[in-house]
């Protein structure tokens, strides 16, 4: 079933947004299936066999008690999973429920929290919110361990409403106080979540115009039912997946897809990825890639199988340290990724990836291998091929011309055709690496 060029185009767009990009083989597979079947597959990760990844992960023997290894583990998963949307949602929830190891200081429990985002990240929001509220890392992060009957700590109650469900302006200070009382006794022990009845305030509470001797479960149930929650989540998801300033239409349509029962997260995603605004010119290359998307997209696009063990640090320097979001609000994203030093880090990341490194593995990529067997005939072909592979050819003519000029001359100024002339191997290698490097520094490469 031949798919039109337009449909292939949008499938790539979907893969960038609902995943982290693609390697050539994956792209062929998804393009062949077409947009709708691709989307179905993305929306139902449980039906996709991910055993190849699981066994590869097992072999790496990551040490989940070390933060750097934990980061490496997640990068590995994102790069090689057969369930891209599942991982992308885990990243989304990590930013949403932003918990930082800088305070929690227990990488293993950060790992356990991360598993929740995969297990419950695409089903019913209520289940997710409940699991997270009982998660030991979260309890430590928002001080609920100190929330006791008679001496309440309001931090969790405030943040669960402000940041995780309703959003600001949809509750009062009184609700926070009452909510805090309901969460008293929700603590953590070595074994995990522990309900300390001794510390729990089981009295009557007045919460968001409802009355009862609520405990934390009840609060979560109430919050999950509120339209404000639907709106809040819809807004965040549209910002994350569609555009920095999504239209009111897509946000309200997405919010409508949230019903208290059923797989409301999945339904919202489906609405987003089939919405006219998502499939519009305004959304194309409209988002700035987060450092995570940049790195994973690069690994996939360049088919990298030897990963730089320093990747977590490079990502941190680009502004995103996994498991260490800078504030309870997670990462702002969008234009916040763009500043002189952060851009320089991206450029230098590109150099590390493309440079000719050690004899044994010929660098992290073999650019010549990228272009081999593509039937290229001229320098122009090579440039076009790489532009297509890396930035969907979305550059002005001037860029194409400059790249071709660059790839057609050596240091002494002598010109040649990179593909058809008989020139030195090292020169070809350097030019190809240089091309990939420069393309990775282009504004378009920062876009998803």
Partner 1 sequence: MQITRRKFLKGGVCLAVGASPLFSMAARAAELQPRKAGESKILVVVQLAGGNDGLNTVVPYGFGQYYQQRPNLAIKQKDVLALNDKIGLHPSMTGLNQLFKDGHLALALGVGYPNPNRSHFRSIEIWQTAEPEKISNTGWIGRYLDNTWQKNDTLSRRLFPAINVDPMLPKSLASDRVLVPSVADVNQFKFNTDAHYQLDRQNQIETFNRIYSAFDLDRPSAQLLKDVGLDAMQASDYLLSVVKNYKSTVNYPDNGFGRSLKFIAQMITAGVDARVYNISLGGFDTHSNQLGAQANLLKQFSDSVAAFQKDLEQHGAEKDVILLAFSEFGRRVAENNGRGTDHGTAEPVFIIGAPVKGGIYGEYPSLSNLDQGDLKYGLDFRSIYATLIEGWLGGDSNKILNGNFERMRFV
Partner 2 sequence: MSKQSKTLRSLLTTSLALCCAFSFVNAAHSKDNSKNKLPANVFSAPPEMNEIPIYVKNDGTPLTPRAADNIDNGDLDLVSKLPSLTNDQRKAINKIIQEGRNEMNSIRAGVKKWQDELKAAQPVKTGKITGVKDHSINIASATPDNSSSMMQEESLGIEEPTPDELKALIQTGNDRIKEKNVAVWQAVIAKLTFDQKGDLDKMKQGRLIISTSASLPADQALDTTYGEVNDSGLNKALVKRAMSTVTKKSLYESIRGN
Residues 211-270 that bind partner 1 (CB under 8 A): 243-244
Report 86-145 residues binding partner 1 (CB under 8 A).
102-103
With CB under 8 A as the contact rule, which of the stretches 51-59, 229-237, 300-308, 429-437 interacts with partner 1?
A: 429-437
Cα 165 to Cα 171: distance, rounded to the nearest angstrom: 11
Nearer to partner 1, 188 or 224 (CB): 188
369 counts as binding partner 1 under rule CB under 8 A: no
Structure token digits, residue 174: 């009184």
Which one among 399, 416, 418, 428 touches partner 1, defined by CB under 8 A? 399
Report 409-428 residues binding partner 1 (CB under 8 A).
409, 411
Nearer to partner 1, 374 or 430 (CB): 430
**Residue 261 contact among partner 1, partner 2, none, beta carbon within 5 to 8 Å by kind:** none
195 counts as binding partner 2 under rule CB under 8 A: no
Give me the 280-319 binding string for partner 1, x by CB under 8 A, dash otherwise.
--x-xxx-x---------------------------xx-x
> Closest approach of Cβ 372 to partner 1, in Å?
20
Cα 184 to Cα 195: distance, rounded to the nearest angstrom: 9
Q: Which residues contact 32 (CB under 8 A, 6 or more apart)?
A: 1, 3
With CB under 8 A as the contact rule, which of the stretches 50-58, 164-172, 292-300, 397-405 interacts with partner 1?
A: 397-405
Query: Is 394:444 a contact under the CB 8 Å cutoff?
Result: yes
Query: Is 25:389 a contact under the CB 8 Å cutoff?
Result: no
End-to-end, the C-alpha distance of the chain in Å comes to 27
Which one among 99, 147, 165, 354 touches partner 1, defined by CB under 8 A? 354
> Closest approach of Cβ 263 to partner 1, in Å?
31
> Closest approach of Cβ 359 to partner 1, in Å?
11
Residue 291's H or E segment, with its range, is helix 291-301
Query: Is 396:402 a contact under the CB 8 Å cutoff?
Result: no
Q: DSSP labels for 360-410? A: TTTSS--HHHHHTTS---SHHHHHHHHHHHHHTT-S-HHHHHHHHHHHTB-
Nearer to partner 1, 85 or 98 (CB): 98
Q: How many residues bind partner 2 (CB under 8 A)?
A: 83
> Closest approach of Cβ 367 to partner 2, in Å?
10
Cα 167 to Cα 307: distance, rounded to the nearest angstrom: 39
> Closest approach of Cβ 76 to partner 2, in Å?
7
Q: Which residues contact 26 (CB under 8 A, 6 or more apart)?
A: 15, 300
**Residue 221 contact among partner 1, partner 2, none, beta carbon within 5 to 8 Å by kind:** none
Query: Is 176:153 a contact under the CB 8 Å cutoff?
Result: no
6 counts as binding partner 2 under rule CB under 8 A: yes
Residue whose structure tokens are 């994350």: 240
Report 351-410 residues binding partner 2 (CB under 8 A).
357-358, 360-361, 366, 368-377, 381, 384-385, 388, 392-396
Residue whose structure tokens are 């009295």: 203
> Closest approach of Cβ 48 to partner 1, in Å?
32
Give me the 311-350 binding string for partner 2, x by CB under 8 A, dash otherwise.
--x-------------------------------------
80 counts as binding partner 2 under rule CB under 8 A: yes
Structure token digits, residue 284: 């194309």
Which one among 213, 339, 368, 415 touches partner 1, defined by CB under 8 A? 339
What phi and psi, each to the nearest 5 degrees, are found at residue 93? Answer: -65, -35
Report 119-148 residues binding partner 2 (CB under 8 A).
136
Q: Which residues contact 423 (CB under 8 A, 6 or more apart)?
A: 416
**Residue 373 contact among partner 2, partner 1, none, beta carbon within 5 to 8 Å by kind:** partner 2
Structure token digits, residue 96: 């949403």
Cα 96 to Cα 6: distance, rounded to the nearest angstrom: 33
Query: Is 442:436 a contact under the CB 8 Å cutoff?
Result: no
Residue 236's H or E segment, with its range, is helix 227-241
Query: Is 423:430 a contact under the CB 8 Å cutoff?
Result: no
Q: Which residues would be at the binding site for partner 1 (CB under 8 A)?
A: 102-103, 243-244, 282, 284-286, 288, 316-317, 319, 326-329, 331-332, 334-336, 338-344, 347-348, 351-352, 354-356, 394-396, 398-399, 402-403, 405-406, 409, 411, 430-431, 433-434, 437-438, 441-444, 446-447
């Amino acid at each position: 079933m031949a798919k039109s060029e337009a449909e292939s185009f949008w499938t790539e767009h979907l893969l960038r947004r609902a995943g982290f990009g693609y390697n050539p083989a994956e792209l062929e597979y998804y393009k062949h299936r077409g947009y709708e079947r691709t989307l179905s597959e993305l929306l139902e990760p449980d039906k996709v066999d991910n055993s190849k990844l699981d066994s590869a992960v097992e072999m790496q023997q990551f040490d989940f008690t070390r933060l750097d290894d934990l980061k490496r583990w997640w990068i590995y998963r994102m790069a090689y999973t057969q369930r891209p949307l599942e991982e992308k949602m885990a990243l989304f929830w990590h930013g949403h429920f932003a918990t930082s190891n800088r305070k929690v200081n227990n990488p293993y429990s950060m790992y356990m929290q991360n598993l929740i985002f995969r297990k419950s990240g695409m089903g019913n929001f209520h289940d997710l919110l409940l699991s997270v509220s009982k998660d030991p890392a979260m309890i430590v992060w928002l001080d609920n361990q100190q929330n006791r009957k008679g001496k309440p700590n309001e931090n969790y109650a405030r943040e669960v409403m402000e940041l995780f469900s309703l959003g600001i302006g949809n509750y009062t200070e009184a609700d926070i106080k009452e909510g805090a009382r309901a969460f008293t006794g929700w603590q953590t022990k070595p074994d995990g979540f522990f309900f300390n009845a001794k510390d729990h305030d089981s009295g009557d509470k007045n919460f968001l115009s409802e009355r009862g001797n609520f405990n934390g479960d009840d609060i979560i149930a109430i919050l999950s039912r509120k339209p404000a929650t639907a709106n809040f989540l819809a807004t965040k998801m549209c910002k994350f997946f569609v555009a920095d300033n999504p239209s009111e239409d897509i946000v309200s349509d997405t919010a409508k897809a949230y019903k208290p029962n059923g797989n409301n997260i999945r339904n919202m995603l489906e609405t987003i990825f089939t919405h006219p605004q998502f499939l519009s010119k305004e959304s194309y290359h409209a988002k700035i890639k987060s450092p995570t998307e940049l790195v994973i997209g690069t690994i996939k696009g360049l088919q990298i199988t030897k990963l730089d063990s320093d990747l977590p640090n490079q990502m941190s320097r680009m502004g995103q340290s996994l498991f260490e979001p800078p504030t309870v609000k997670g990462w702002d994203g969008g234009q916040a990724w763009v500043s002189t030093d952060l851009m320089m880090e991206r450029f230098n990341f590109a150099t590390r990836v493309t440079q000719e490194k050690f004899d044994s593995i010929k660098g992290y990529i073999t650019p010549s291998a990228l272009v081999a067997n593509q039937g290229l005939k001229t320098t122009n072909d090579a440039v076009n091929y790489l532009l297509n592979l890396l930035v969907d050819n979305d550059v002005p003519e001037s860029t194409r011309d400059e790249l071709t000029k660059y790839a057609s001359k050596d240091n002494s100024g002598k010109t040649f055709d990179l593909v058809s002339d008989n020139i030195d191997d090292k020169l070809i290698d350097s030019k190809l690496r240089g091309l990939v490097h420069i393309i990775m520094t282009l504004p378009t490469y920062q876009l998803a």
